[in-house]
Structure 1
Amino acid sequence: MWKKAICLSAVLDIMLLGVSCAPPQQAPPQVEQKMRVPLYGMFETFVENTRVYHNPFSETELRARFTSPSGRGVNYFGFYDGGNTWRQRFMPDEPGTWLYNLSFSDGAPGAMGVFECVAAGAKPGPWKPDPENPRWLLSADGNRFAPVAVFADCYLTPLDWKDAIQWCKEKGFNTLVTPTFNTRFWAEEWDNLTAFALQPGELKRIVDYDRYNLQMWGQWDDMIRTAGLAGIYIGAFEGPCGKYGGQENGKYPPNELVFSPAMRDRFDTERNKRIIRYLIARQGAFWNLAYWSLGNTEVFRHCVADEREFIEYGEYFASAAPFGRLLTAQDCEQVHGENRRWLSGLNIPASRKLNTVQTAAGNYDNPEWTKAGPNNQLALDAWGRPPQYGGFPVLSTEGLWEGQGRAKKPLRVIWGFLAAGAHAVWADWNYENADNTFGSIGRCWSPVKPLEKHLFRTSDLGANCSGDEELPIALEHLKTYQYWKMKPHNELVAGGAEAYCLAEPGSQYMIYAPEGGTVKLDLNSAPGPFTARWLDPRQGTYTEPERFEGGAARSFAAPGNEDWVLSVTPAK
């Protein structure tokens, strides 16, 4: 039963003590070859525990202590995975020999061992802010990363998430924003697709929050793993905040999207802290989990009672989650003039904070958000005024949702944010029924239909939309600059047509003109020479470049009276 643990322990003993149990003058006994794990890849092992538990999810916990090649210690924990099996996962971030010690909280036998972290086959690792200019992102390996992201609720069946991943591959998207576990939805004709096991008995949709639905947790593992094999990040959009099941403010009909009992606890009940640790243990070692989320939409309203609970929740989660992964909570850092700076209040490193926001909060059809100005200003406000507050990467996870009024002009959202040094996530929100009562984020499911009749198809997603084509064009254009050196500088384009400017003054300028016209660019302190050309953000095509000298204000006439992007870069 303990053969694997004994073999690994023998390897550890030989390495640490330099002794052998072999008789003198004889070859040492053979031991298991040391496991090789790529940098930022996943190490995984298991321990068999034959003790009898009434509830193995709550009566013991597998705890881990990893020691890096440089001697740094990392505490983590494993998870129960059915039968007598507990699993331990880990994402090594340092090449060389790692040691680990696994122990159960109730004293059941654990295991010890070693593995080798190697550079061959290294994974990019999760996102992190660029320390030189935190508006922009890097992967953990230090390479620059610009998210081309789609939001799709595709996590309820493998049919849907496989389609979503394939769609991303075909369309050039490198990030799929979706929940990574289900704590809210259960519709008519569905089986149990929640994170929680059913309570005993014949009643349907009554769950046990102390036990977990291992089949679904395994499917969410498969979703993240499959995306990683395709080189696609998963951006989490759900959080274990203690508010699960039941109705969402009466939003849905009585028999739609409901399971019971409704839980409305604080995050820090012992039961909910187990849920938090279980999520982190299962999913935290996947290299392509881009960031953690403390909740879904409007975390400040739906997931916590007040700022104090938010701070305590975020700091607890960060303390439990290793690897320094980014943490976000949508709309908790400056949204729509409310001066909410809750992310800034978290006592965790700034390098772990990601600011996710939405546009048009409370009125998704507000026509103001079809203008570039409000989108640009929201992104600027969300960035804040570091070091006083803010200074974290900004990602609009809700805003560029076609099918809603706020995204009727996708270019205004895409470029309004990008010119402020921020990113937008595209989604297809087109209603699936004539009276517009059920929108499907990504057309991936509809609560009025059983899941086997899911509506998510690569031919459907993006039908009658343009943002799914325009967002990749924008990010490809961004890569034509040394964009990581650029910051918002709207003051450089005052006095001409409406325009928004991202620049490294004196060197490179990206100017978005939402209604074309003649743009005036202040180049008084930039002698040049420069090259200017216009990008058509609908087609991804450019006008012929024009060479000119700087040292003065220059005017540039757009080719038309619709959205255009002016690129001014050093002449070659």
Structure 2
Amino acid sequence: MDLEAYDFLEVTAQVSSPHASNPFTDAAIRGKFEGAERRWQVEGFSDSEDGSVYHVRFMPPAAGEYTYSVEYHQGWSTATSTGKFRVTEGHRRGPIRIDPENRWHFVWKGTGEHYFFNGTTAYWLMGWRDEDVIRSSIERLHRLKVNRIRVTIAGRTNRYFGEPVMAGDSWTPISTPWPSRRDARLLHYLGRAGQRFGIGIGRDFFDSLGELGQVEDIYHPGFDYSRFRVSYWQKLERALKFARDRDVIFSLVLDMNDSRVHPAPGSADERRFIRYAVARLGAFSNITWDLGDDLDSYRDDEWTHTTGTLIKAWDPYHHLATSHPVDNVHQDRRSDWFDFTSFQEWSRDQHSFMLSQRKEQERLGRIIPQTNEEYGYEDHYPMWAKGPGSDSADTLRRTAWEIVMAGGYQTAGETARRGTNIWPDTGGGWMNGRGDETMTMFEGYAHMVDFFTSFDWWKTEPHDELVNNGNYCMAKPGELYAVYLPHGGKVELKLQPGRYAGTWMNAVTGKKTPLPSIKATALWISPPAPVGDDWALLLRKSGL
């Protein structure tokens, strides 16, 4: 058997006569893998609600010969399977990691290429019933050079945040990773029967029973947290594989404050859920972990530290992990498990904010990438936003430039104004990932991606002191200078002596205009940017 590095091997146990009362708690499957001078112990999972199918998945990190031993346990019985397989190079990009030499930045583990983190939010992408919509949404975002999507596993909401979005036959924001309890379902049916036929006990009694055991009810889902709704997880895996084939990372947001109902913090039910997620999804190379959206609204700092540490212990591949609290003081930035920030900060001075966060991270003595994953959603104006226009496509595009020109990264969110289950029913944006041809904000973001990936951006640092007029500069002095001019015009740039090749880029259209060769002695004054709008300027030392 041949397998490419950073794909995964799946070893399956077929149980011909399953008799575990609960296959998710009463049986277990584990694997030991050896190769590339390393050993791994990997937990498996039940992939059937009757206990007839179990899997162990393993993602090999390098070419070579591997062996495995898998054991299935149920009651007093044990079954063992052994085997060997060969792994070829394949040149897959693999998971993302922090660049060990430039720790503000990311690299693809498989190839060593640098990863320019350019994300979007689509929390309830998995709410689409037609998986063609999920795939076409991922494909569209990939085409727009989005390489990271925030997707929730268990998050649920019945609020639509003022957007023209509603649950319906085609889509729902009610995630269902667990089934409802059997007893809750029976009480629900009893309540419905009593509501319809009545047996003299009282309407209120039957109404209360009728509310139980509906997984679609955000307040009374009656979840059986000891079991999993396998079809939901299989659907998520199909989306993950489709995204992996396009080098798109899923930020797996475990849960959300909007869910209203959660497993008890630190409980066996909660830890079973997280371990099941790690066992099923950890072998996909294109994931990172997020402990939860608005996490500080339903979990405390001690829980965050403990759970983040546990995830890193349970995940044999040590995928990057973070959390997303409302108040950024609750990010566990000193801890080894915490790999990058995931800020929630909506101000319109993002450049200063991100620079201050770099300084704070330096003060903490632990350099990690700085990302703002929630600085507004296109055309979305809750009361904490700055008012109409503050979240327009153009404003958010400019804000993204402010963030990356501070050496940070960002996750944006497209407009939901094109509707889901509301006319014209062609969108959903930050809520579910779907978009149409009128949604063009990310075309502007793609120009920013093209600009930065045209040079070794990870070798540069913020150097605003080298420019004037409120412009921004990222530089490796003497070699590379990237300047952003929010208002166009010209810039005074303090250069080290030498010859430089320069190029203007219109940040709105992406059009590039080369400059004549530049001979600098100290201060260089650029010609004015060709027209209005905001512009980017790139200077490279000649001969590099």
**Same fold? TM cut 0.5:** yes
Cα deviation, 1:75-116, whole Å, max 9, x if unaligned, reads 220010114111111111132222222234555323232333
Which of 350, 366, 373 matches 1:397? 373
Higher relative contact order (CA 8 A, sep 6+): 2
User: Which residue number in structure 2 is paired with residue 194 of structure 1?
Assistant: 176
1:59 equivalenced with 2:29 (yes/no): no
- In 2, distance between residues paired with 1:272 and 1:128? 27
Give the percent of matched residue pairs that are identical in Structure 1 and Structure 2: 21
Cα deviation, 1:138-170, whole Å, max 9, x if unaligned, reads 111112222343322311122431221221344
Q: Identify if the C-alpha distance between structure 1 residues 223 and 568 changes in structure 2 by more than 3 Å, giving closer, same or farther.
A: same
- The aligned runs of 1:351-430 (5 Å cut-off) are 353-360=339-346, 368-369=347-348, 374-383=349-358, 384-386=360-362, 388-399=364-375, 401-404=377-380, 405-408=389-392, 409-430=395-416
1:237 Cα offset (Å): 4.3
Q: Does structure 2 retain, via aligned residues, the 8 Å contact 1:411–1:563?
A: no
- The aligned runs of 1:31-110 (5 Å cut-off) are 35-49=1-15, 50-70=17-37, 72-82=38-48, 83=50, 84-104=52-72, 106-110=75-79
Q: Does structure 2 retain, via aligned residues, the 8 Å contact 1:311–1:345?
A: no
Question: One-letter code of the match for 1:426?
Answer: A
User: Which residue number in structure 2 is paired with residue 292 of structure 1?
Assistant: 289
User: Which residue number in structure 2 is paired with residue 265 of structure 1?
Assistant: 264
Question: One-letter code of the match for 2:102?
Answer: N
1:121 equivalenced with 2:100 (yes/no): no
SS across alignment from 1:402: coil
Q: Does structure 2 retain, via aligned residues, the 8 Å contact 1:314–1:346?
A: no
- In 1, distance between residues paired with 2:59 and 2:95? 10
User: Which residue number in structure 1 is paired with residue 229 of structure 2?
Assistant: 213
1:329 Cα offset (Å): 0.9
Question: One-letter code of the match for 1:472?
Answer: A
- In 2, distance between residues paired with 1:535 and 1:69? 45
Cα deviation, 1:150-207, whole Å, max 9, x if unaligned, reads 322311122431221221344343333322x234247576887510112222342232
User: Which residue number in structure 1 is paired with residue 324 of structure 2?
Assistant: 330
Q: Does structure 1 retain, via aligned residues, the 8 Å contact 2:473–2:481?
A: yes
User: Which residue number in structure 2 is paired with residue 563 of structure 1?
Assistant: 534
- In 2, distance between residues paired with 1:317 and 1:270? 14
Q: Does structure 2 retain, via aligned residues, the 8 Å contact 1:400–1:425?
A: no
Which of 212, 217, 238 matches 2:253? 238
Question: One-letter code of the match for 1:279?
Answer: A
Cα deviation, 1:498-536, whole Å, max 9, x if unaligned, reads 11111111110111111123322122xx11111233210
User: Which residue number in structure 2 is paired with residue 468 of structure 1?
Assistant: 442
Q: Does structure 2 retain, via aligned residues, the 8 Å contact 1:382–1:390?
A: no
Question: One-letter code of the match for 1:234?
Answer: I
Q: Does structure 1 retain, via aligned residues, the 8 Å contact 2:145–2:449?
A: no
1:568 Cα offset (Å): 1.5
- In 1, distance between residues paired with 2:313 and 2:29? 17
1:553 Cα offset (Å): 1.8
- In 2, distance between residues paired with 1:315 and 1:323? 14
Which of 493, 504, 529 matches 2:476? 504
Q: Does structure 1 retain, via aligned residues, the 8 Å contact 2:120–2:430?
A: no
SS across alignment from 2:225: strand
- In 1, distance between residues paired with 2:484 and 2:269? 50
Which of 279, 282, 299 matches 2:280? 282
User: Which residue number in structure 1 is paired with residue 417 of structure 2?
Assistant: 431
SS across alignment from 1:54: coil
Q: Identify if the C-alpha distance between structure 1 residues 150 and 244 changes in structure 2 by more than 3 Å, giving closer, same or farther.
A: closer
Cα deviation, 1:391-444, whole Å, max 9, x if unaligned, reads 21223322252113543212322211111122222321333679x9x9985166
- In 2, distance between residues paired with 1:511 and 1:353? 28
How many aligned residue pairs are there?
A: 476
Which of 139, 144, 149 matches 1:171? 144
**Over the residues paired in the alignment, what is the CA RMSD in angstroms?**
2.9
Which consecutive unaligned segments of at least 5 residues does structure 1 have? 1-34, 247-261, 361-367, 446-455
- In 2, distance between residues paired with 1:212 and 1:284? 17
1:225 Cα offset (Å): 0.9
